[in-house]
């Protein structure tokens, strides 16, 4: 008969999760807690309990820093509910394991090996040995960027819109946190349409979104080695170069197509059209604010935005999507194949073959998830392909942009988007490894054979 010590040992082994599993469990716990709090009567303006599916949808969107909403954020949630959403955004943006590790540093001033592994798994490029320094750097950068954005917005709300101090401070705080964490939640029923032509609101938000979307590894290396670009890692160079190309390319694409659309950019003067086009290019990097009605844009614009949302931002940050580095790796693999070369070389360094497989796996799993969800949404809602595909890509990329169908989705469709948002935030590979029961070491290899390709 097993002893009490043996039983407790088995329990500890069960609770000793793999780092990837800990990330999944952590995000799941945050979503569950957020759903519970948002469902309380105190969280709504009417003082009534919020429908479970709406609470679940909003909590998942906040924790996964997406920004899709099934109820009007500005009119449905009370001050308590909005505070819960803001806290979920901040926790989700920092990362559940990073946040837990930060709490551990504050309370006990030391980290266990498992805490370091969990935080390292979530921050991606950060090694387990330097987690303490990385966590402090992440916190410092986050508060600094959010603080600067807060000041700029606070001053503008007071001087430009005559908000009182309390309202200006609350709106500046909420939108600075929402922007840096690429969440896209806004305190206005029309999101940011009322500020479409105001560069003093739009540009600070864009700056915070871009910085958050670069990823913490890139931000920390830039902080340490800003004036020494030759020492930048391949990851930093790929993210910076890819972000510039996608931001400018997206801005030109959206602006040119929507330039004469009287329901979007066509209603503004030329300078404002350029600002709005750039603003929405930034939003496709997984932020989710909108300063014109996305549902009134041309279908061609939606397709281009689908591509930008699918790619997303930098790894180990607040952005979603397959990540700029994944897209860049696949692009360089294609170029290498077209040239007939053997190894993939990027910025004077050879790319590890393991990265080839990881990039391909991420893209295939992302496409499978999006296509499956799109088909499911079409069956459930009866909407056509362009709108459901846009919604699915936005959810998986944790973007939060919508063509306007989110509010009318039935519970089954909301669940589909909840799963997509969750998968898009934690990453397909993280989820796959977390669900795997164990890793198998293959002690043999089969003989090679090459099938015909293409």
Report if residue 138 sits inside a domain: yes
Instruction: Tell me the angle at which helices 165-180 and 199-214 cross, rounded to the nearest 10 degrees.
Output: 40
Q: Which residues lie closer than 8 Å to 295 by C-beta, 6 or more apart? A: 402, 403, 404, 405
Q: Does a structural domain hold residue 289?
A: yes
Task: Give the pLDDT score at 105.
Answer: 45
d(CA 85, CA 55): 10
Q: Report d(CA 248, CA 253) in Å as an integer.
A: 9
Question: Has residue 131 been placed in a domain?
Answer: yes
Q: Has residue 11 been placed in a domain?
A: no
Tell me what pLDDT residue 53 has. Answer: 95
Q: Supply 250's token pair.
A: 């997206």
**In contact, 415 and 53? CB cutoff 8 Å:** yes
- 300, 424, 59, 192: CA torsion to nearest 10: -30
Tokens of 317: 């940050």
CB 397 within 8 A of CB 312: yes
Span between the terminal Cα atoms of the chain, in Å: 62
**In a domain? residue 438:** no
Q: CA-to-CA distance for 262 and 241, rounded, in angstroms?
A: 34
pLDDT at 5: 57
Q: How far is CA 247 from the centre of its chain?
A: 16
In a domain, 426, yes or no: yes
Token pair for 332: 């360089």
Predicted pLDDT of residue 125: 42
Number of domains in the chain: 1
Residues 70 and 454: their CA atoms lie apart, in Å, by 44
The rounded distance, in Å, linking the Cα atoms of 406 and 68 is 7
> Whole-angstrom Cα distance, residue 390 to residue 388?
5
d(CA 236, CA 72): 38
Determine the structural domain holding residue 128 and report its residue range. 16-432
The whole-number pLDDT of residue 430 equals 65
What confidence score (pLDDT) does residue 389 get? Answer: 96
Name the helix (H) or strand (E) containing 146.
helix 131-161
* 367: its two tokens: 């496409």
Residue 58 lies in a domain: yes
Cα dist from 418 to 40, 150, 350, 406, 435, whole Å? 20, 30, 38, 12, 18
CA 191, CA 73: separation in Å to the nearest integer? Answer: 9
| Strand, helix or coil for residue 346 | strand
* 88 domain-assigned: yes
Cα separation, 165 vs 301, whole angstroms: 39
d(CA 52, CA 84): 16
Count Cβ neighbours within 10 Å for each residue of 169-187 and write b for 16 or more, e otherwise.
bbbbbbbbbbbbbbbbbbb
Q: What's the CA gap between 282 and 72, in Å, rounded?
A: 23
Is the CB of residue 264 less than 8 Å from the CB of residue 293? Answer: yes
- DSSP 8-state code for residue 268: S
Q: What is the dihedral of CA 291, 292, 293, 297, to 10 degrees?
A: -130
Alpha-helical runs (H) found in 95-233: 96-108, 113-123, 131-161, 165-180, 199-214, 216-224
Pairing of strands 349-350, 345-346: antiparallel
How do the pLDDT tens digits run along the chain, 454 residues long? 455 555 555 444 444 566 667 777 788 899 999 999 999 999 999 999 999 999 999 999 999 999 999 999 999 999 999 999 999 999 888 775 465 444 444 444 454 545 554 545 444 444 444 566 777 777 888 899 999 999 999 999 999 999 999 999 999 999 999 999 999 999 999 999 999 999 999 999 999 999 998 987 888 888 888 888 888 888 899 999 999 999 999 999 999 999 999 999 999 999 999 999 999 999 998 888 999 999 999 999 999 999 999 999 988 778 889 999 999 999 999 999 898 888 888 888 888 887 888 888 889 999 999 999 999 999 999 999 999 999 999 999 999 999 989 988 999 999 999 999 999 888 765 665 555 545 566 777 888 787 887 7
Q: Is 421 helix (H, G, I), strand (E, B) or coil?
A: helix
- The answer to pTM > 0.85 is yes
Distance of CA 19 to the CA centre of its chain: 20
Q: How far is Cα 89 from Cα 294, in angstroms, rounded to an integer?
A: 23
What's the pLDDT at 453? Answer: 75
Q: Burial of 26 by CB count in 10 Å (0-12 exposed, 13-18 middle, 19+ buried)? A: buried
């Amino acid at each position: 008969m097993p002893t009490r010590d043996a039983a407790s040992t088995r329990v500890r082994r069960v609770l000793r999760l793999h780092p990837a599993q800990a990330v999944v469990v952590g995000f799941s716990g945050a979503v569950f807690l957020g759903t519970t709090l948002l469902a309380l009567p105190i969280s709504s303006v009417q003082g009534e309990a919020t429908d479970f599916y709406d609470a679940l949808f909003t909590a998942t969107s906040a924790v996964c820093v997406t920004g899709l909403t099934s109820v009007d954020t500005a009119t449905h949630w009370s001050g308590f509910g909005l505070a819960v959403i803001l806290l979920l955004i901040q926790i989700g943006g920092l990362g559940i394991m990073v946040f837990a590790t930060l709490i551990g540093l504050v309370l006990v001033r030391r980290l266990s090996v498992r805490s370091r592994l969990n935080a390292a798994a979530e921050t991606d490029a950060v090694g387990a040995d330097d987690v303490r320094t990385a966590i402090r750097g992440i916190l410092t950068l986050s508060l600094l960027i959010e603080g600067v954005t807060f000041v700029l917005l606070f001053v503008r709300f007071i001087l430009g819109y005559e908000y009182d101090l309390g309202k200006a401070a609350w709106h500046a705080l909420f939108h600075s946190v929402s922007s840096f964490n690429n969440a896209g939640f806004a305190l206005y029923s029309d999101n940011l349409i009322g500020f479409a032509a105001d560069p003093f609101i739009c540009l600070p938000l864009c700056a915070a979104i871009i910085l958050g979307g670069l990823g913490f590894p890139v931000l920390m290396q830039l902080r340490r080695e800003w004036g020494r670009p030759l020492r930048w890692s391949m990851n930093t160079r790929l993210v910076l170069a890819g972000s510039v190309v996608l931001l400018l390319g997206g801005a030109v694409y959206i602006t040119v197509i929507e330039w004469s659309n009287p329901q979007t950019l066509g209603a503004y003067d030329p300078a404002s059209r350029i600002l709005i086009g750039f603003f929405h290019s930034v939003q496709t990097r997984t932020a989710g604010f909108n300063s014109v009605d996305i549902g009134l844009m041309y279908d061609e614009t939606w397709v281009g935005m689908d591509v930008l949302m699918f790619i997303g931002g930098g790894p180990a940050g607040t952005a979603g999507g397959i990540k700029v580095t994944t897209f860049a790796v696949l692009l360089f693999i294609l170029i290498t194949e077209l040239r007939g070369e053997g190894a993939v070389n990027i910025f004077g360094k050879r790319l590890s073959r393991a990265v080839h497989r990881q990039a391909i796996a991420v893209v295939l799993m992302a496409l499978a998830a999006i296509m499956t969800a799109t088909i499911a949404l079409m069956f459930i809602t009866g909407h056509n392909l362009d709108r459901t595909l846009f919604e699915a890509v936005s959810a998986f990329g944790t973007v939060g942009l919508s063509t306007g169908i989110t509010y009318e989705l039935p519970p089954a469709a909301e669940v589909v988007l909840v799963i997509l948002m969750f998968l898009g935030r934690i990453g397909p590979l993280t989820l796959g490894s977390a669900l795997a029961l164990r890793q198998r070491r293959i002690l043999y290899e089969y003989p090679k054979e090459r099938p015909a390709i293409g």
